[in-house]
Chains A and B, each alone.
Chain A
Amino acid sequence: MMKRIIDAAARRRWPLTVLAFITILGPFVVARPDGEGTNIAAVVLVLAAIALIFLLAVNLSGRDPDADARALEVAPDSLSAVLFARWMRRSKHFRFVGGLCGAILGLGFATGSLASPLVGLLAGVAFGGAAAEVHSFQGRPRSARSADITARHMGDYVTPTDTVALAVIAAAAMCLMVVAVTTGAGRWGSFWPAMAALVAVAAATAMQRAVVVRRRPALSDDLRRADDVMRRLAATQGFTRPAIAFALVMLSQGLATFGNSTTVTVAVLALWMLAIAWYVASRQSRANLRALIGS
């Protein structure tokens, strides 16, 4: 029974965490000045706080009960499944911790809307996904015993759609920055969001390259193929797609300073929709995994 509860807490980490958080805020929002219902509110508050601590403890411990099943479903062989399961657990955990930290930090900058925590969440997920790949840059003396010297190219690991998206976002961000600089004070509000989008694109591209060219020991053909797929997952789902989602949202923030005209509003909404689509495409769903591993 307890195991099922823990697994459920790990499977529905975001909805349950948000629900517990809202439940904690609830009593403060609906509290009546005359103090009526205070006892009930206190009980709800304590229960929600316990639930939130439990949820965070389960998910911060890196529990992912479905990783093995997902890996077995999409991996061509058992060896690849072992590698995929490791990557999925690690990437998902880092993304959750990054996203949680980003959303918390975003709350600090919030000015009455949900945009700031959401932007923080996307930035945190992208940062966490990239941090999950940093292990490869740590020196390990044992790995010097052998090396795979096969030439690897970005195009073999990064999808054309993501590459085009990064290029388009970079171009749009530079245009926004030029407009901000040339039109003066009224448009400076668009400069820094555009700059943030450009930095996200540059960081994602640099990280893609780091993942593709990172060292690899001499491996059997099976394991090398599995490692190639793992790199492809890392360079797309791991951090690139969340970074694209974040950059799109920053572009929308920059565009929003151009007023409330219908064109601007539609463009801002479209960018948010695209950002959500890219974030959804970065999740470790079976469909997303199959699309990447099968390609």
Chain B
Amino acid sequence: MLESRPEDRDLDERLDELIPLSAGPIKTLVASAAVVGAAIASTVLIMGGYLYPRPTFGSSFSSGSFLEVGPARNAVSATVMMPNNSSRSVRITDIAFDGPGADVVDVGVILDPPYETQTSDVGVESSVATPILPRNQAAMPLPIVVPAGRTATVVVWFRPTDCIDKPGPWGLVDATVDFGDGAFPPFSNTVSLHQDPVAFIDLDGNADNGGESMMMQDADGSMREISGPLAGACEALR
């Protein structure tokens, strides 16, 4: 290693004032490893959703496959899934719905039941069926806590103000989430479910719901195909 001439007593001191000599490999290693360790710990906390709510990180999810007419025929509901894949419970405090040509009447959240299995007498494991309730009965008002590992289904009731579906994505949802009152850290986050609109409308005004045609469930439980969410809603509420 290059060092100053031994005959110059002040030189080392002068150099040290300009730029300090390295602390030595062991001290440097320990200090640097501590910094990198802190970065790793922070990353683990971030990825686990402990530092700020990020329930949908690293997950794929989908919209509900059909619209549903409310029992009083005053609104139509659409759904978007929001899985909580983080390691911490999050609370949904607000939902913003971007669906041109529709007025939002109400929003709610259905907390999907935890996955349960049962083992038969012969040792075969199967999932436990849970009853499916109509959306207006199952959906709960905001705010609602979504435990880690569970999936929330965001339900938006709307009334159409226009009956013509325009090309492009329709039914984009932003969910505002936090850790709850008094929780630490007190950060909130807006989770965009933008990659998952309720429907994509093609240039002919037809809905493409993930490669499938779009369906409408009427108040009596019957299903029928619709061309788009606005046209279908207008027809159903007429």
Within 8 A of A (CB), among B9-68: 11, 13-15, 17-22, 25-26, 28-29, 32-33, 35-36, 38-40, 42-44, 46-47, 57-58
With A83-B18, A90-B19, A107-B43: A97-B2 Cβ-Cβ less than 8 Å: no
Also in contact, A104 and B39, with CB within 8 A (given A86-B21, A90-B19): yes
B119 on the A face (CB < 8 A): no
User: Are A97 and B22 touching (Cβ within 8 A)?
Assistant: no
Q: Digit string of A203-240 for contact with B (CB within 8 Å is 1, else 0)? A: 00000000000001101000100010010000000000
Prevailing SS type, chain A contact patch: helix
Contact with B along A101-135 (1 / 0, CB 8 A): 11011011101000000000000000000000001
A88 to chain B, nearest CB (A): 10
The yes or no answer to B129 lying at the interface (CB within 8 A) is no
Which residues of chain A are within 8 angstroms of B29 by Cβ–Cβ distance? 57, 60-62
Shortest CB-to-CB span from B138 to chain A, Å, is 31
How far is the CB of B140 from the nearest CB of chain A, in Å? 28
B20, B25, B38, B39, most chain A CB atoms within 10 A: B39
Contact A97 B35 (CB under 8 A): yes
B17 touches which one: A82, A100, A105, A143 (CB < 8 A)? Answer: A143
**Is A108 touching B2 in the complex (CB atoms < 8 A)?**
no
B residues near A216, Cβ cutoff 8 Å: 18
Across-interface contacts of B18 in A (CB, < 8 A): 83, 216, 223, 227, 230
Interface size class of B (residues with CB under 8 A): 20 to 34
State whether the Cβ of B1 lies closer than 8 Å to any Cβ in chain A. Answer: yes
Residue interface bits A75-88, CB-to-B below 8 A is 1, else 0: 00011011101110
Tell me whether B21 and A97 are in contact (CB under 8 A): no
In the complex the two chains form, is B28's CB within 8 Å of A61's CB? yes
Beyond A62-B32, A68-B1, A100-B36, is A105–B42 a contact (Cβ under 8 Å)?
A: yes
Closest to A189 in B: B192
B127 on the A face (CB < 8 A): no
CA distance A62 to B29 in the complex (A): 7
A101 touching B39 in the complex, CB below 8 Å, given contacts A108-B46, A217-B17: yes
Residue of A whose beta carbon sits closest to that of B33? A60
Contact of A71 with B by CB under 8 A: yes
Contacts of B35 in A (CB 8 A): 97, 101
A140→B17 contact, CB < 8 A: yes
Give A85 to B19 CA distance when docked, in angstroms: 10
Q: Quick one: which of A158-173 are within 8 Å of B by CB?
A: none
Please report the number of residue pairs spanning A and B whose Cβ atoms sit closer than 8 angstroms. Answer: 91
Whether B4 sits at the interface, judged by CB under 8 Å, is: yes
Q: Determine if A56 and B36 form an interchain contact, defined as CB atoms under 8 angstroms apart.
A: yes
Chain A residues with Cβ below 8 Å from B212 are: none
**Is residue B116 contacting chain A, with contact meaning CB distance below 8 A?**
no
- The distance in angstroms between the C-alpha atoms of A111 and B25, with both chains bound, is 36
Across-interface contacts of A93 in B (CB, < 8 A): 22, 28, 32
Determine whether the beta carbon of B47 is less than 8 Å from that of A108.
yes
Cross-chain contact A60 with B28 (CB below 8 angstroms)? yes
- Scoring B19, B25, B43, B58 by chain A CB atoms within 10 A of each residue's CB, the highest score goes to B19
Determine if A283 is an interface residue (Cβ-Cβ < 8 Å): no
- Across-interface contacts of A219 in B (CB, < 8 A): 14
Residue of A nearest to B29 (CB): A61
10 pairs, CB–CB < 8 Å, chain A vs chain B: A61-B28, A62-B28, A72-B2, A81-B2, A86-B15, A93-B22, A93-B28, A97-B35, A108-B47, A111-B58
- Residues of B bordering A, CB below 8 Å: 1-4, 11, 13-15, 17-22, 25-26, 28-29, 32-33, 35-36, 38-40, 42-44, 46-47, 57-58
A-B pairs with lowest CB-CB distance, top 9: A108-B46, A101-B39, A108-B43, A60-B32, A61-B25, A61-B29, A62-B28, A104-B39, A68-B2
